[in-house]
Amino acid sequence: MLDVRRLRLLRELAYRGTIAAVAEALTFTPSAVSQQLAALEREAGVALLERTGRRVALTPAGVALVRHAEAVLERLEQAAAELAAARSDLSGILRIGAFPTATRAILPAALAALARSHPGLDPMVDEVDPAEVAPRLRAGELDVALVHEYDFVPAEPDLALDAVPLLDEFMYLATPHTVDGEGDAATLLSCRDAPWIASTPGTLCHAMTMRACQAAGFSPRVRHHIDDFATVLAMVAVGQGVALVPELGAADPPGGVTLTALSMRRRTRVAFRRGAGGHPAVVALIAALRSAVR
Amino acid sequence: MLDVRRLRLLRELAYRGTIAAVAEALTFTPSAVSQQLAALEREAGVALLERTGRRVALTPAGVALVRHAEAVLERLEQAAAELAAARSDLSGILRIGAFPTATRAILPAALAALARSHPGLDPMVDEVDPAEVAPRLRAGELDVALVHEYDFVPAEPDLALDAVPLLDEFMYLATPHTVDGEGDAATLLSCRDAPWIASTPGTLCHAMTMRACQAAGFSPRVRHHIDDFATVLAMVAVGQGVALVPELGAADPPGGVTLTALSMRRRTRVAFRRGAGGHPAVVALIAALRSAVR
DNA sequence: ATCGAGCATCAGTTCAGCTTAACGGTTTCG
DNA sequence: CGAAACCGTTAAGCTGAACTGATGCTCGAT
């Protein structure tokens, strides 16, 4: 019988590309991963890995096996969820990943609701950029995560993960009040020469600002890199630049800031390992999140 | 993550009912099985087994988990089959279970065809009564098995196994020639007072004879217990009794025997572990069997 | 040409899981 | 009603699988 732990390593290799990365993700040494994958190949009787240069790549047989591994792991996840549902007391640790805005705007109310409905559950929050969510969910470092995607930065689908929608927001262009008034509403293009405030490079929000401007036909001149939208708005208010902010980040704008709704939207979803959608803790958290965003 | 080896033990327990039987089937000690199931329960966090008297029974949660175990094991079987199909050379041992008549009437030609088409494959035949096939397939002691079922002895469906039809035969009533002729054709009922020849008690064929007679309204007086149908017919020929024989067992009847076709049928099928239907060795054997029965 | 990154291999160690042995409870049979 | 057979559990000890750490090799980049 094929060893499921080894199949898990193979699946992780399919996502991460190198044995070293798999080892780091699952807190093993590369040596252990290499040995286990070699054992899997011996079991399989077919080459699963191809040594290309100093890396390894999956053979077609390896890719095919990964698909089976996904299915098996999904079903095991489902079984675990059902067992958890069968337990009368819902307790234990629930590791939640969330992007900063959600941590501030949604999670407090959601965790309060969760504590009321399921006092035995022990939520642990990690601030994680959506770009890093998928690997950490797969690796089991997180159980649930809040992620978002922008019109210009669609999330690629992940066979190992599943998600349900939570929130659908407008994006706003934040500009400082000008003394003489602007007459027309601000547009992306009208800000092409203004200094911009974006998030830290490498984050999804940073990519969103860059691509939105590029789609409007220009490359923004970014002066500040700031992740917290409240801070961003404060900077906009004092004329340090313009910025794109989502509805959640613009809930309580300071004076001196004009918010112009754009047609761009941001969709927030709750992601989890495929098969874990029936887990009572996941169900409970989703319910709490929904109640928190009304 | 739930341990699949332990899930396999749980599934086996669902079929066999006692830990001792599971241990024997998988060649462990009862102690090992007990320890592993205890570990599984600890992992699950829910009671899976109920101690009732000196036995154990599955709780509802245990039954539910077995369903997941079936699905996981099926998918693993499928993955193994696909890997085998990816191998250029089809080699290795193929363990075949067959009931005696099939061993004699079908397998020689089938194995010859198999050896021609796949010389690298190493078939090993075990004579196994259909009643014992299911556990041995599940336990992995057999890879493929020829089984049959009679109208009166339907095989109960097994979630862990799959099967494809191979052969559909008439059953014959074998009676000795009488000197004065019988006028009418013999019927089951006309033989109610004759001595009967049946198979060894405990086999499917034995059950078939008993139930067919009971359905006709009488209880047969069994004088001989003989499994080989050629021998049975020889005994019928010398007036030692009457018997029910399938078409395959009556291919070359000796003189002195009258064969009367009945409306009863016997269906022969090829069984294998669910998910292994795509295994190239299984596919090859089924093709060889089909060619052997024309 | 040299250095770093990445994978494979080997030896050593640790721990999960097996066996053996012994015990307690339950059913069955004389 | 007592004894024996059966079944499951627990404790103790041992074996082997799997992980770590060290070493070597190959490829690619500076």
CATH of A168-265, one of 2.40.50.140, 2.10.109.10, 3.40.50.620, 3.40.190.10: 3.40.190.10
Torsion of CA B161, B166, B171, B176, to 10 degrees: -110
Distance from CA of A48 to the nearest CA of B (A): 10
Please report, rounded to whole angstroms, the spatial distance between the CA atom of protein residue A32 and the C1' atom of nucleotide D18: 8
One fold for both B4-83 and B168-267?
no
The answer to whether A83 contacts B8, with C-beta atoms less than 8 Å apart, is no
Q: Which residues of B touch A82 (CB under 8 A)?
A: 61, 64-65, 68
Tokens 């999804």 appear where? A204
Of B234, B231, B260, give the one whose Cα is nearest residue B247: B260
> Which class is A89-163+268-292 in CATH?
alpha beta
What confidence tens digit (pLDDT) does each residue in A81-108 have?
Answer: 999 998 877 778 899 999 888 888 889 8
pLDDT for B13 equals 94
Protein residue closest to C18, using CA and C1': B32
pLDDT for A153 equals 59
Domain A4-83, classified CATH 3.90.110.10, yes or no:
no
pLDDT for B203 equals 80
Please report, rounded to whole angstroms, the spatial distance between the CA atom of protein residue B53 and the C1' atom of nucleotide D7: 9
Residue A184 — pLDDT band, cuts 50, 70, 90?
A: low
Q: Given B7, B8, B75, which is nearest A68 (Cβ)?
A: B75
Q: Which residues of A touch B80 (CB under 8 A)?
A: 1-2
Residue A152 — pLDDT band, cuts 50, 70, 90?
A: low
What confidence tens digit (pLDDT) does each residue in B152-196 have?
Answer: 655 667 888 999 999 999 999 999 887 444 556 778 888 989 999
Residues of chain B above pLDDT 70, percent: 96
What confidence tens digit (pLDDT) does each residue in B116-158 have?
Answer: 999 989 898 888 888 788 888 988 889 999 998 887 655 667 8
Please report, rounded to whole angstroms, the spatial distance between the CA atom of protein residue B191 and the C1' atom of nucleotide C21: 58
pLDDT for A155 equals 63
The answer to whether B65 contacts A76, with C-beta atoms less than 8 Å apart, is no
pLDDT for B171 equals 92
Q: Given A2, A4, A75, which is nearest B80 (Cβ)?
A: A2
Average pLDDT on A277-284 reads 94
Bridge partners of A243, per DSSP, are A174
The answer to whether B4 contacts A8, with C-beta atoms less than 8 Å apart, is no
Domain B168-267, classified CATH 3.50.40.10, yes or no:
no
What residue segments make up the domains of chain A, in order of their start? 4-83, 89-163+268-292, 168-265
Q: Mention every residue, 6+ apart, whose C-beta is less than 8 A from residue A16.
A: A22, A25, A135
Residues of chain B above pLDDT 90, percent: 52
Q: Does the CB of B35 sit below 7 A from strand D? A: yes
Separation CA A106–CA A144 (nearest Å):
14
User: Number of A:B CB contacts under 8 A?
Assistant: 80
**pTM for the whole structure:** 0.82
pLDDT for B151 equals 74
Residue in B with minimal Cα distance to A43 = B80
Q: Given A46, A72, A83, which is nearest B76 (Cβ)?
A: A72
Mean pLDDT of chain A: 88
Q: Which residues of A touch B140 (CB under 8 A)?
A: 1
Chain length of chain B: 294
